[in-house]
Amino acid sequence: MSESEPNLRVVVADDQRVVRDGLVTVLDLMAGVEVVGAAANGEQAVALVQRHRPQVVLMDLRMPRLDGVEATRRIRQAHPSTAVVVLTTYADDESILAALRAGALGYLTKDAGREEISRALHAAAAGQAVMDPTVQARLVAVAGSPDGARPSRPLPDGLTAREAEVLALMASGRTNAQIATTLVVSASTVKTHVNNLFAKTGTKNRAQAVQYAYRHALADPGAPEPS
């Protein structure tokens, strides 16, 4: 961005203060970017957009009072010139599709680096979509399913699509590192998914989780192990 061009005005929305403050610090260090407001929930994000009219909102999804999906919907309806880029921990089908249907133009996970965030913000301001590789993979999977939707059979015990995917890969014999490579995410993200699915399924280790996967038809016992 040249000196003659105005700064890209951004509002940050995240309910976790340490994350929100960290994002503000990172964005403030980016050339040509100006953070004009930071919100702790969706209601504050909508109000800040009304007050400052930023070009882009960097939006978390899970927030109190008003979640990121509904906040995105309200912002896009009232201020169609303001783009929304989601930055969240969640990359399951439901979260992705809900955000995109609400009008989000970009979708990143919190594994994204500074350059990736900068690229997504500027692209969104220019009306272009930028998706995390994980999100792109999920969209391709959804598009390839019948009627462009996930199978109608609900997942057991509140498992998300991504957690079920991780569980199936565990059952195929993959380590956390191999799962991370397959899903194009960090090892810490995989560990989080594993811990979450352990809690939801009531299992205490990988062996129990694999048995759970077979019992609920979430994995193919005959699937080949990775070489």
- Domains 8-138 and 156-215 alike in fold: no
pLDDT at 145 exceeding the cut of 70: no
As its CATH architecture, domain 156-215 has Orthogonal Bundle (1.10)
Q: What is the mean pLDDT of residues 47-59?
A: 98
pTM for this one? 0.63
Q: Which of 24, 20, 26, 16 is nearest to 62 (CA)?
A: 16
* Residue 90 CB neighbours (<10 A): 19
Q: What is the mean pLDDT of residues 11-27?
A: 96
| Tally of residues, the chain | 227
- pLDDT tens digits, one per residue of 57-91: 999 999 999 999 999 999 999 999 999 999 998 87
Dihedral sign (CA 184, 189, 195, 200):
negative
State how far Cα 213 lies from the chain centre.
25
pLDDT recorded at residue 128? 81
User: Which of residues 42 and 104 earns the better pLDDT score?
Assistant: 42
Specify the 3-state DSSP secondary structure of 152.
coil
Q: From the options 3.40.50.2300, 3.90.950.10, 3.10.20.30, 3.40.50.720, give the CATH code of 8-138.
A: 3.40.50.2300
CA 173, CA 23: separation in Å to the nearest integer? Answer: 37
Listed range (26-35, 178-187, 211-220) with the worst mean pLDDT: 211-220
- pLDDT tens digits, one per residue of 83-140: 999 999 887 778 888 888 888 888 898 888 899 999 999 988 988 877 787 776 666 5
- pLDDT tens digits, one per residue of 180-214: 888 878 889 999 999 999 999 999 988 888 888 88
Instruction: Sketch the domain layout of the chain as residue ranges.
Output: 8-138, 156-215
Listed range (6-15, 101-110, 144-153) with the worst mean pLDDT: 144-153
Say if residue 5 is exposed, middle or buried (CB neighbours under 10 Å; 0-12, 13-18, 19+).
exposed
Please report which confidence band the pLDDT of residue 153 belongs to, taking 50, 70 and 90 as the band edges: low
Q: What is the mean pLDDT of residues 153-160?
A: 82
